[in-house]
Amino acid sequence: MWRAWIVVLAGCWSSPPIAPTSTNQPGGLVITQHGWGPITAATVATLANLRALFPVYRVVPVNDPQLEYDIYDGKQKLGFVVINDDASVFNVHATSNRVRVEDRPWRAGESFQDSKALSRCECWGSNPTCYKTGEHIAVNFDRSCLEGDDPRELRALDGLVVQRVIWSVEPFGPAADTNGNDTNDPSDPDAP
């Protein structure tokens, strides 16, 4: 009989469960290949939905010139959501170092030292946005435009301050057709 009690007590004795780290707490927003905090490709980006996804933050609609949503913690802007006409998410920009990137040392406002992880840059306005082709996360710099995939030029980004970290619903880089050809290449017979 006493053996049964030992088994019962041993079965009940364990460490308390560890609560998962929330990506929706102040200072806890994380960008992954699948989303920006609680935002994913399936998110409908309406004011009501975004406020429900970010209950501890303030979500503010802004026309810049299209409708976007800024996300604040108090007075600090953490980022903004760029939407499509159908209210789907186009991309989300982190503008604060309080938003971290899973598996990368990339944070807005901090020195960049990871050019080997990049494969290409393209000009977004007058600034370069750089990424690893096929991934959903990019970095943007406040410097003159840099475009291309030359590793020597990409190394020039090391030491610069990251202006924004961007998560995109679609992977960055040239689109490929079913044959693996770049659909942006005019010599591709399947190009649109």
Asked if pLDDT for residue 183 goes beyond 80, the answer is no
Domain parsing of the chain, residue ranges? 30-111+134-144+162-168
**Nearest CA among 149, 94, 162 for reference residue 121:** 149
CATH number of 30-111+134-144+162-168: 2.60.460.10, 3.40.50.300, 3.40.50.970, 3.30.300.130?
Answer: 2.60.460.10
Of residues 77 and 28, more confidence is placed in: 77
**Six token digits for residue 118:** 């990049």
Question: DSSP 3-state assignment of 63?
Answer: strand
| pLDDT per residue as tens digits for the range 115-163 | 999 999 999 999 999 999 999 999 999 999 999 999 999 999 999 999 9
- Classify each residue of 41-55 as buried b or exposed e, where b means 16 or more C-beta atoms within 10 Å of its C-beta: eebebeeeebeebbe
Q: What is the pLDDT of residues 13-48, one digit of tens each?
A: 333 333 333 444 444 899 999 999 999 999 999 999
Mean pLDDT of the chain: 84
Structure tokens at 74: 């108090």
What pLDDT was estimated at residue 67? 95
Residue 176 Rama label (left phi>0; alpha psi -120 to 50; beta): beta
Q: Is the pLDDT of residue 74 over 60?
A: yes
pLDDT at 174: 81
The pLDDT value recorded for residue 28 is 80
